[in-house]
Amino acid sequence: MLVFENIMLALSGLKANKTRSILTMLGIIIGIASVIAIMTIGTSLTQSVEHQMAEMGATNITLGIQQKRSEEEESDSGMMFNRGPWRKELTDDDYLTGEDLDDIVSHFSGEIEGVLKVNELGNSKLKNRNNTADIRVSGMNDRNLENEKLEMLAGRIFTSRDQEQKKKVILLSDRAVDDALKVSYEEALGQIVTVVRENKFYHYTLVGVYRYDDSNSMYSFSYDESTTAYIPILTSFNDAHTPERYSNLDLVCESSTNIDDLVTQIESYVNKRYYRNNKSFEASCYSMSSMVESYTSMLSSISLAISVIAGISLLVGGIGVMNIMLVSIQERTREIGTRKALGAKNSSIRMQFIVEAIVLCIVGGAIGIIIGIIAGYFATPLVDEEAEFFLPVNGIFLSVGFSVAVGVFFGYYPANKAAKMNPIDALRYE
Amino acid sequence: MEPIIDARGIIKRYYIGHPNELEILHGIDIKVYPGEFVAIVGASGSGKSTLMNILGVLDKPTEGTYYLDGVDVGESDDSELSAIRNQKIGFVFQTYNLISRQSALKNVELPMLYAGMKGRARFKRAKELMAMVGMEDRMYHNPDELSGGQKQRVAIARAMGNDPAMILADEPTGALDTKTGRMVMDIFHRLNEVHGKTIILITHSPELAEETQRILTLSDGLIVGEREGSGHAGI
């Protein structure tokens, strides 16, 4: 009851001294606003990155073939980047073959659930008399195609027979069909379509049409009209006249496995088995989760640094609150004396002024939270234009808690001073 | 009948143990019985304020015993003294001492608030008290919107908040003109006669003191005279 009365009293006091209250709260407002702004940006970035990463597969391990470190240093003569004429080309022996992969998967059978095989054949044209559509032909195995989460408008995706027998079948986007074939999707099914790539003609039977989704396209910002055309993975190697070979692919892990351990295990296994005698190349593994971790840890260390600065401004704000409380108590000495004469216990007086300090800090904190959220809302797209806005709920609770703590900490000393006032002196104070 | 105030051999010294040690009260005995209207008169410097502080439990005597409504004040700690002030004493000051940021009604509620009374009961009693002093139509005004006489009436209502054993009024009409001072004195008379409240009036005005039933004269820290007053206003 007394707490409620005290809160109302403190609020009326705030209203009575608006300018002074706002000036006092400024430190708290700036401190809390900067914490909230940073946290808003931080949460938004982290959430967006985690979201993106999860979509790409947090349980995936990427296995890639790269030039050996020592080799790079020799050939690069100490330069950091390795793109250039001195970079060695992968020879047939340097790739991982389909059999190699089968062996790796069976060796880690309990931990690897599937392999995402992809073979990009590159930009091509879908041709139908005078009509063309830009496409990118991509060979994929079933597991990878499943990952694409295609929404089929007509027909089907590949069967295992298509894959095993290297059938010349193709999946096209609705956009490619609209642009080049100009028939309904149902009618288009079963047609033999012509794909032109590097001046060579390839023919495939159209077995399915999927809905092209702009938002998933990695190229959506570069205004690329081309859509992906899927063919079975082995068909793609046939068309390219190369054996089944990979320099880069994703391994899908069982969700229960420890990804970080598995990354090092696979890397050492593949290197020992396939690249021990390879002078130029080695296998290298990394996982999305480790990238997410390093990203978030970087973000959090930046946040920490800025939070320290914000903490300092909160400290300064807290001292401001203490200062104004001391002044206010001095001014209200008579009031304190009167209250004591009317029977207020020391603890009641102490509570009254602590509550007043807390109210001052909470109101300041609330203003700071609002300013911080608004600032964060507008600043987030400046840092990363793809990041979505997320409300830093934890940060808000934390800030309210912090405001209360600042109020209690910096309000206690003045409040205690008030509580210990001698009622006689206080009553006689002019 | 048990006295409300039973003070014996009250001595008050300041700066004890220092070269400038100062004895203000030299041994005062006072007994005040329930329903009495007593005046303590004395020139400034006579120890009036010091005596009032002790009687009002704002201060403790250096020597002597003080029983207030049967409670030994000397044995009480800070928190108990607060409770005694809250329950047994109603203060009325020369300078009103209303809390300026709160409405008159809230001011009257204060002692009840500190006594832990619930909001609704507090509001009801405060309203009754405001009506008693004729201030019911200005309950929601802040003190700075009230005249001196109105403020003092609010202060009297506040003093009555917890129905105390006695009212301790320190120069209650000192800052008022004759007319409003008269009105305030009339309220005290009414409280004394109608409600049977024990009132101690501290004043330097012989005319006001004359209205009370008993007049104690304080001089240089000693009670030098005790006589009966008329007990009512006017002569």
What digits encode the pLDDT tens for the residues A4-52?
Answer: 888 888 888 888 888 988 988 988 898 889 888 888 888 787 777 777 7
The answer to whether A101 and A252 have CB atoms below 8 angstroms apart is no
Task: State yes or no: pLDDT of B153 exceeds 90.
Answer: yes
**What's the rounded Cα separation, in Å, for the pair A123 and A195?**
10
* B129 lies in some domain: yes
* B22 lies in some domain: no
Cβ distance B101 to A341 less than 8 Å, yes or no, reads no
pLDDT of residue A80: 45
pLDDT of residue B191: 94
What percent of chain A has a predicted confidence (pLDDT) above 90? 23
Mutation site, B113, B160, B166, B167, interface A, largest A CB count within 10 A = B113
Q: Phi and psi at residue B66, in whole multiples of 5°?
A: -135, 115
Residue of B nearest to A425 (CA): B58
pLDDT tens for each residue of A180-192: 888 888 888 988 9
pLDDT of residue A82: 46
**Helix crossing, B148-159 with B104-114: angle to 10°?**
20
Span A66-83, average pLDDT: 54
Span B54-61, average pLDDT: 92
- Residues spanned by the domain of B125: 34-61+82-228
pLDDT of residue B155: 96
* B7 lies in some domain: no
Strands (E), B33-124: 37-41, 63-68, 71-72, 89-92
CATH of the domain at B101: 3.40.50.300
pLDDT of residue A70: 59
Mean pLDDT, chain A, whole residue set: 83
Q: How confident is the model at residue A242 (pLDDT cuts 50, 70, 90)?
A: confident
pLDDT of residue A79: 45
Mean pLDDT, chain B, whole residue set: 92
Angular region, B206: left φ>0, alpha ψ -120 to 50, beta rest: alpha
Span A351-361, average pLDDT: 92
**What's the rounded Cα separation, in Å, for the pair A133 and A176?**
5
Chain B residues with CB under 8 Å of a chain A CB are 53, 56, 58-59, 78-79, 82-83, 85-87, 91, 93, 97-102, 110-111, 113-116, 118-119, 158, 161-162
pLDDT of residue A81: 47
Q: Phi and psi at residue B221, in whole multiples of 5°?
A: 80, 15
How close does chain A come to B214, measured CA to CA in Å?
25
Cβ distance A346 to B115 less than 8 Å, yes or no, reads no
Count CA atoms closer than 13 A to B21's CA, side-chain side: 8
A76-85, A139-148, A297-306, B85-94 — most confident range: B85-94
Task: State yes or no: pLDDT of B235 exceeds 80.
Answer: no
pLDDT of residue B234: 60
The answer to whether A209 and A182 have CB atoms below 8 angstroms apart is no
How close does chain B come to A24, measured CA to CA in Å?
20
Cβ distance A427 to B58 less than 8 Å, yes or no, reads yes
pLDDT of residue A214: 66
pLDDT tens for each residue of A256-294: 777 778 888 888 888 888 888 887 888 888 887 777 777
Q: Kindly report the length of chain A.
A: 430
What percent of chain A has a predicted confidence (pLDDT) above 70? 91
Report the residue from B53, B99, B115 with minimal CB separation from A343.
B115
Span B99-105, average pLDDT: 91
**What's the rounded Cα separation, in Å, for the pair B150 and A7?**
28
Span A377-387, average pLDDT: 80
Q: Of B84, B161, B93, give the one whose Cα is nearest residue B126.
A: B161
pLDDT of residue A226: 82
* B219 lies in some domain: yes
pTM: 0.69
pLDDT tens for each residue of B74-85: 889 999 999 999
pLDDT of residue A292: 73
Cβ distance B102 to A12 less than 8 Å, yes or no, reads yes
Between these two residues, A284 and A74, which has the higher pLDDT value?
A284
**What's the rounded Cα separation, in Å, for the pair A225 and A234?**
26
pLDDT of residue A76: 45
How close does chain B come to A334, measured CA to CA in Å?
7
Both tokens of A260, joined, read 């970080």
The answer to whether B73 and B31 have CB atoms below 8 angstroms apart is no
pLDDT of residue B35: 93
pLDDT of residue B111: 95
Spatial CB neighbours of A253, under 8 Å, sequence gap ≥ 6: A59, A60, A61, A111, A112, A113, A259, A262
* B69 lies in some domain: no
Report the residue from B85, B102, B118 with minimal CB separation from A341.
B85
Residue of A nearest to B53 (CA): A424
* B19 lies in some domain: no
pLDDT tens for each residue of B2-25: 899 999 999 999 998 899 999 999
Span B33-57, average pLDDT: 92
For chain A, helix (H) and strand (E) counts, in that order, are 15, 13
Q: How far is CA A212 from CA A24, A69, A175, in A?
A: 57, 41, 7
**What's the rounded Cα separation, in Å, for the pair A75 and A71?**
6
* B66 lies in some domain: no
Span A187-201, average pLDDT: 90
Count CA atoms closer than 13 A to B104's CA, side-chain side: 30
Report the residue from B97, B115, B161 with minimal CB separation from A334.
B97
Task: State yes or no: pLDDT of A119 exceeds 50.
Answer: yes
pLDDT of residue A58: 66
pLDDT of residue B145: 94
Span B59-74, average pLDDT: 92
pLDDT of residue A182: 87
Task: State yes or no: pLDDT of A255 exceeds 90.
Answer: no
Number of domains in chain B: 1
pLDDT of residue A409: 93
* B16 lies in some domain: no
Residue of A nearest to B102 (CA): A9
